[in-house]
Structure 1
Amino acid sequence: MTAGVAVQMTAFGISSLFALFRLPDAIRGRNRMMFACMVLISVSVGLSLPAIYTAVDPLVGGVNIANLFLRMALYGVFVILGVRGAAAFGADWAKKLIIGPVGLVVLGIIVALTVGFFVASDLPATSTSLYAYDDQVSVQVYAMLGRLYPAYVAACVCAPALAASRNTCYRLPHRIGAGLMGIGLAIVVVFTALALVADLGAFMLLLPFSAVILVTVGLAIMWASHRRQMIRPRPSPLAESYRNVS
């Protein structure tokens, strides 16, 4: 097993575990959007694993529709994560860039182009991450588009998250969680930029799935801190921040 695959499987395990931890709260009606976000992260990472992808794709036609679903799930992850993160870290400007007029136009264009280039590609048989079709220009553009929207949202939220990690008004667990989330989002931006200009080799797996781990662990720490605060409440003007990401 390579380091990249190990990180990939770790990301799947951590995201799935955290989704399960949040299930009881979701059943009670607490922050179901973040539960949905964690489920979509798990689905996205899971469909990047050959064992899962090759089992799922034949069920939906065997022409790599599962990969298109992966892309759409990932876009959904970043919409939820971006909006909730921007609200939690008090970055109204970032929220507007994500779900304001500009953000919705960006999302609409990316989704339309993603579907368009998928349809334009010749994908007759199941292939995890479409590796068997890397020689097609349409597949290369499709893959690039799949990285651009996450990078756009990550660029909007990583700075507010990192700023929150240095804000001494926040509880220490919240600062640690925000810092991990900010670093993870920054990695998404760096990875996308590097992938546009260079062949990253093993880092094509190491960077994005390391980012998944950091963001998921950061969210888990903030969630645990919020749960503890609910059990042992202490008046705080920052309570709304915890609710937005927990």
Structure 2
Amino acid sequence: MMATLQWGTLVLCTVVLLLRVPDAIQGRNRTVFGILLIATLCSLLSVAGPYEAIDGVLGGWNLTHLILRFLVFAAVLLVGLRMARGLEDARGYRLIAGPAGRWALAASAVAVAATFFLMDTRGSSAGLLDITDHGGPNAVLAPFYAAAGRTYPGFVSLALLPALLATTRSQLPRLVRAAAFLTCVGALATAVSVPASFAPETWTLAQQTVNYLAVVGYVLGLGLFWFSGVAAQGSGNARATFRKNKG
């Protein structure tokens, strides 16, 4: 089941990324393409085979997972800024780009790095699922490491949630509302993943399902926002377009 979630998410991210290539080549919405590229790379690094191969090159200390965490932070920051601009959400944009957002990002980054280097991370393990088997401090620190890595994405998701919910209840075209709904699902799953980090080991599959649901919701939401813009251009209805911000 876990492998199905991992490969399914990777395939989905890759398909949506490839669909965006023509627009990126023409210079349209390159920020969105960059987000999808990072999301695809993160999905690749979540699959056991590629993860272990890359981490083996880096020495087998799971540095790949630490790199993955920082890639997620970068993707979430770009998603937050892009979504807030596109939804004309001034409050959300201030939260993400302002002092609160910068402190949240800095605190999460420091917490992730500190807990990572306090653990015994020898032996490549995708998702760090085998780290707690080392016993000692690892069993205590692993949930805090996971929660630290999910706190900043949770912060950004909660900042975006009011505007996303308002969009789902608006009179905008169905595609735009559907895109906002899917992104809401991703945002809620991201927020829930923070307390879920402390769930017992028997809930590992449920934890991973929530994590992958967050990725799928955001990727599908971004993809549908883009498609709604293409559809709006085709019909000549500019109001249906998710506001374009080239990056």
Normalising by structure 2, we get a TM-score of: 0.89
- 1:142 maps to which of 145, 161, 165: 145
Alignment of 1:79 with 2:77, yes or no, is yes
Between stretches 66-75 and 27-36, larger displacement belongs to 27-36
* CA–CA separation in structure 2 for the residues paired with 1:12 and 1:125: 24
Q: Which amino acid aligns with 1:243?
A: K
Q: Where does residue 130 of structure 2 map in the other structure?
A: 132
Report what 1:93 is aligned to. 91
CA RMSD of aligned residues (A): 2.1
Q: How does 1:1-246 map to 2 (within 5 A)?
A: 2=1, 4-134=2-132, 135=135, 136=138, 137-168=140-171, 170-196=172-198, 199=201, 200-236=203-239, 239=241, 241-244=242-245
Deviation at 1:82, TM superposition (A): 1.0
Question: 2:10 touches 2:40 (CA, 8 Å); kept in 1?
Answer: yes
Aligned-pair distance for 1:158?
2.1
The structural deviation recorded for 1:244 is 4.5
Q: Percent of counterpart pairs with the same letter?
A: 24
For residues 242 and 91 of structure 1, the distance between their equivalents in structure 2, rounded to whole angstroms, comes to 12
The structure-2 alpha-carbon separation of the partners of 1:220 and 1:245, relative to structure 1 and needing over 3 Å to count, comes to farther
Task: Decide which moves more: 185-194 or 28-37.
Answer: 185-194
Paired residue total = 241
Instruction: Report SS of the residue matched to 2:61.
Output: coil
Amino acid at match of 2:67: F
Instruction: Render the CA deviation track for 1:60-109: whole Å, top value 9, x for unaligned.
Output: 23211110111011111110111111222222111111110111011011
Alignment partners' CA distance in 1, 2:238 and 2:222: 22
Deviation at 1:245, TM superposition (A): 9.7
CA contact (8 A) 2:143 2:198 kept: no
- Distance in 1 (alpha carbons) for counterparts of 2:97 and 2:238: 31
Give the distance between the partners of 2:24 and 2:174, measured in 1 at CA.
26
Query: What amino acid maps onto 2:176 in structure 1?
Result: H
Q: Distance in 2 between matches of 1:235 and 1:90?
A: 15
1:73 counterpart SS class: helix
How far residue 235 of structure 1 moved from its aligned partner, in angstroms, is: 4.0
Gaps of 5+ in 1: none
Specify every segment of 5 or more residues in structure 2 that has no aligned partner in the other structure, as ranges: none
Residues 84 and 245 of structure 1 are in contact (CA less than 8 Å); yes or no, is this contact kept in structure 2? no
Deviation at 1:139, TM superposition (A): 3.2
Contact 1:161 1:182 in 2 (8 A): yes
Distance change >3 Å, CA 201–CA 133, structure 1 → 2: closer
SS for the counterpart of 2:122 is coil
- Is the deviation greater in 211-220 or in 36-45? 211-220
CA distance in 1 between counterparts of 2:190 and 2:103 reads: 21
Q: Does the Cα contact within 8 Å between 1:223 and 1:242 map onto a contact in 2?
A: no
